[in-house]
Structure 1
Amino acid sequence: MIRLSSICILLFLAMGLMAQVRMSSAEISYLYNQENEFLVQHKVASSEDRVKVYLRFILNSGNVKISDYRISYDLRASYIDEKAVNSSVTIDSANVVDVAFRQYVYAFEFEKESNDNLIVIDFYNAARDKRFSLDIPLKIKDWTPASHLIFQANKDIPYFDKYINKDFPIRIVNVFDNSDSFEINGVNSNKNVAMPPFDDSDMQTASDIPLDTLYGVTNGEEFRFYNNGFHTIRSSSQPEKELGIIVTDEVHPYFDNYRDLIDPLIYVSTNDEFKDMQAATDDREAFEAFVSNTISSNEQIGKDFIKYYYRRVRKSARLFSENQAGWKTDRGMIYQVFGNPAQVFRNESTELWVYPSSTGGRVKYIFDIVVEDGITKYKLIRDKRYRENWMRAVTQWRSGRIIE
């Protein structure tokens, strides 16, 4: 009953029937649009009632400058709580802890009250009178942020990306206690690729295979991961709190062999086609044959397919990586085939993506939000009604027409 009510609330809010001062009525699809005028990433650490937030704000367009924006935040008990009068706290140059080319990292810290479960950050482009909201949960069910974060090796700021390339230098830092130490364990990243949105059949979950590595590091000590896989980091001060990160090869999210290029084709190939490509002795020949025989014999159309399809794979890595590559996740699967959602709404337990339907109306995908192994995961609620729209989109890709 609780889950049904949550979904109903999301659908109601998505229709824009509630006041804009309520967070869940804010439209946050800009977070998944890599061409938005700015990009933003965040990291949060907490210890009891102390909370520290880091924001990485990237100017992504030559038509905007940092002075165009007014940034502020307020705290709320839930997504449906209205913003309290005079509750906004300004984030400005006094909060800047690092500056790079058209990039600014802000940090702010506060003591939260017992009912402060959500930070709402307001990005207001005063020059264009445009407003964007970012929701940062301080609690998801029983989960609260850990006190430690992955930091860059050469700067006193977090590592913001959702994956780490193997052999890249980093540090683990407890932002509240510099005497902390950490234990890091890894498993092979062998999770199943997301099934299509209409396929709700139970797949046997791949067993985790522990990596033959165990790292022990002190607070702020520089080290590198030498094995691909999903790693969890526990601190001695909060052993119950995990922080998860996927470690990839050095070129990820780019490709250095044709075998890796074949894998994402699972969404636009038939079962037999995909099995034949996997079994081929010459990966390059199999890949090129699929593009020329299935997508188009026209060289330019084939090049466009490769350009746009694999650019989306790279975007998924930055946006949706969890305990596996971004394109393999539920959100990555939807994004790979359909592109940027037209609208996105979120509350404590679900996220709603809205797309226009090719036959009129709208198609809505709902993801359950859970925290497992120290990372937030989004699990699609599958339904048979998605089949027709999915097959139509796949057919379009296979005909050499790009979905943008």
Structure 2
Amino acid sequence: MNRIGLILFFLLAVGTFSEAQQTSKTKKRKGDAQTTAAASGVDDVTILGIKSKFLSKDTNSVAIFMRVDLSKPNNIPVRWKDFTDKFTLNYVLYPDFASRERLGYGNIPLNEQNVVQLSATKFMIRFDVKRPVNHASAVMLAEISEIGTTKKVLNDLAVRFNAPKLSDRFALFERTGQVVMLQNYVNVNDTLLIKDIKKTVKPLYVMRYKHDFEAASSPMNTTPRNAPRTLGVDTTFIINTSTPLTFKEEGLYYMTEDTTDATGIGLVVSNKRFPKMTRPAELVRPVMYMSQNQEINELLGTKDAKKSLDRYWLSLMNGNTDLAKRTISVFYNRVEEANRLFTTYKEGWKTDKGMIFIVMGPPDRVQRSKDREVWVYSQRANFSEINFTFNRRANQFVEDHYELQRYVEYQPIWYPMVEAWRTGAVRD
């Protein structure tokens, strides 16, 4: 995947919007400019993406946690002042996604009280937002702007001040209890905490599911799947909030305040390598998106997954080892990124977004509203423009579950892309 494409997609996939959407030609110019800047030693800092979450403090305010991912040319580490001296942050509250009525606004100083540097490229901003008069919820539109330029990156977040859900009050934190984990997965034996702003200690009921969820079906498959109405619980136990936790077994974990609750906090616990996939038995499965039924059955039924997978790729590439290696690298890099970006109650590669991302690559732009995302792919060899629409669906485990609107009309778009994979024509 080319770097510019990944940057653009990451901005959009995590709920970030750039006001200046780039065309292919513009993206190329941007890439050339970054190369020139790096060569000349210009100290550029680029915002790759923003992800945010709120936690209720009380009935009148919430705490906002906003992670900002940055980069500099040639992978140079980003210094504290590269971020705090170069950017500003402000926000506006609206009643909902469709309204432009301003309920409130604020400017957040980027200083030691509000900003924590997590790594060489990641920063966490924490600030409080007060409840607007006569409103129990709002949409916060935050804007991070580069000082002295017109560059800005936006992030929208739906905020509930009455905190009806467990996930409105509690969140997953890294082992220190200081950093919110803005993802739906952890690795086996990782240490984490589930806590609220007040560090309340209370019991939560935990259910573990070993269910192996199905991968996404074809974009042309308009026949609804007969999904199980209930999942079989493998084990149940009780944990305490604000107490270090370690999950020793893989699976889907679901935490609630009461066993009758309709919503809770879902968490996928995966092997130590996730989101990367390394086990041959795992690597076999994502190729279903570019395989024929007979090929899939043979791969899934084999006793030696590694040898079968090697034969599969070499056969597609007509024995060209170099081409097979390059295509395998591109394919599984996309699978890993899909896991990183789209894991919900199941691995990211299995989701509808993950499937489209793996086969089609990052979209050229994303249009978002309250319950919908539209991924737009511009000019390709076999089409001028195509849209994939994802609708948000209620889900007890996570809030960011989206389902693709499927159409048989995708056939003339989808099959040539699959064939490009099968012939090694897809590039980074």
Tell me if TM exceeds 0.5.
yes
Q: Does 1:122 align with 2:163?
A: no
Q: Following superposition of structure 1 onto structure 2, how do residues 165-180 of structure 1 map, counting pairs within 5 Å?
A: 165-176=187-198, 178-180=200-202
CA distance in structure 1 between the aligned counterparts of 2:278 and 2:330, rounded to whole angstroms: 18
Deviation per CA, 1:353-382, whole angstroms, max 9, x where unpaired? 100253343101111112312412011111
Q: Does 1:386 align with 2:410?
A: yes
**Structure 2 letter corresponding to 1:106:** I
Structure 1 residue aligned with 2:107 = 89
CA distance in structure 1 between the aligned counterparts of 2:232 and 2:252, rounded to whole angstroms: 10
Larger CA deviation: 72-81 vs 383-392: 72-81
Q: Could you tell me which of 28, 38, 50 is aligned with 1:40?
A: 50
Contact 1:342/1:356 (<8 A) preserved: yes
Q: Kindly state the Cα deviation for residue 215 of structure 1 after the two structures are TM-superposed.
A: 3.3
Contact 2:145/2:152 (<8 A) preserved: yes
Structure 2 residue aligned with 1:191 = 213
CA distance in structure 2 between the aligned counterparts of 1:388 and 1:357, rounded to whole angstroms: 14
Structure 1 residue ranges, 4+ long, deviating more than 6 angstroms after superposition: none
Q: Following superposition of structure 1 onto structure 2, how do residues 222-301 of structure 1 map, counting pairs within 5 Å?
A: 222-235=244-257, 241-301=263-323
* TM-score using structure 1 length: 0.84
**Structure 2 letter corresponding to 1:78:** D
CA distance in structure 1 between the aligned counterparts of 2:20 and 2:223, rounded to whole angstroms: 32
Structure 1 residue aligned with 2:339 = 317
Q: Alpha carbons of 1:282 and 1:178: their partners in 2 closer, same or farther (altered >3 Å)? A: same
Deviation per CA, 1:179-227, whole angstroms, max 9, x where unpaired? 3332221212422110111111122225654443323222211111122
SS in 1 for 2:284: helix
CA distance in structure 2 between the aligned counterparts of 1:318 and 1:148, rounded to whole angstroms: 22
CA distance in structure 2 between the aligned counterparts of 1:337 and 1:274, rounded to whole angstroms: 16
CA distance in structure 1 between the aligned counterparts of 2:193 and 2:347, rounded to whole angstroms: 22
CA distance in structure 1 between the aligned counterparts of 2:211 and 2:181, rounded to whole angstroms: 21
CA distance in structure 1 between the aligned counterparts of 2:50 and 2:18, rounded to whole angstroms: 20
Deviation per CA, 1:81-123, whole angstroms, max 9, x where unpaired? 2374983432411312454323221111223231642111112
Q: Does 1:372 align with 2:392?
A: no
Q: Does 1:134 align with 2:155?
A: yes
Q: How many residues align?
A: 376
Contact 2:253/2:267 (<8 A) preserved: yes
Contact 1:185/1:214 (<8 A) preserved: yes
RMSD: 2.9
CA distance in structure 2 between the aligned counterparts of 1:337 and 1:354, rounded to whole angstroms: 14
**Structure 2 letter corresponding to 1:60:** S
CA distance in structure 1 between the aligned counterparts of 2:397 and 2:310, rounded to whole angstroms: 39
Q: Kindly state the Cα deviation for residue 403 of structure 1 after the two structures are TM-superposed.
A: 4.9
Query: Structure 2: which 5+ residue stretches go unaligned?
Result: 1-15, 32-45
Contact 2:177/2:192 (<8 A) preserved: no
Structure 2 residue aligned with 1:73 = 91
CA distance in structure 2 between the aligned counterparts of 1:235 and 1:244, rounded to whole angstroms: 13
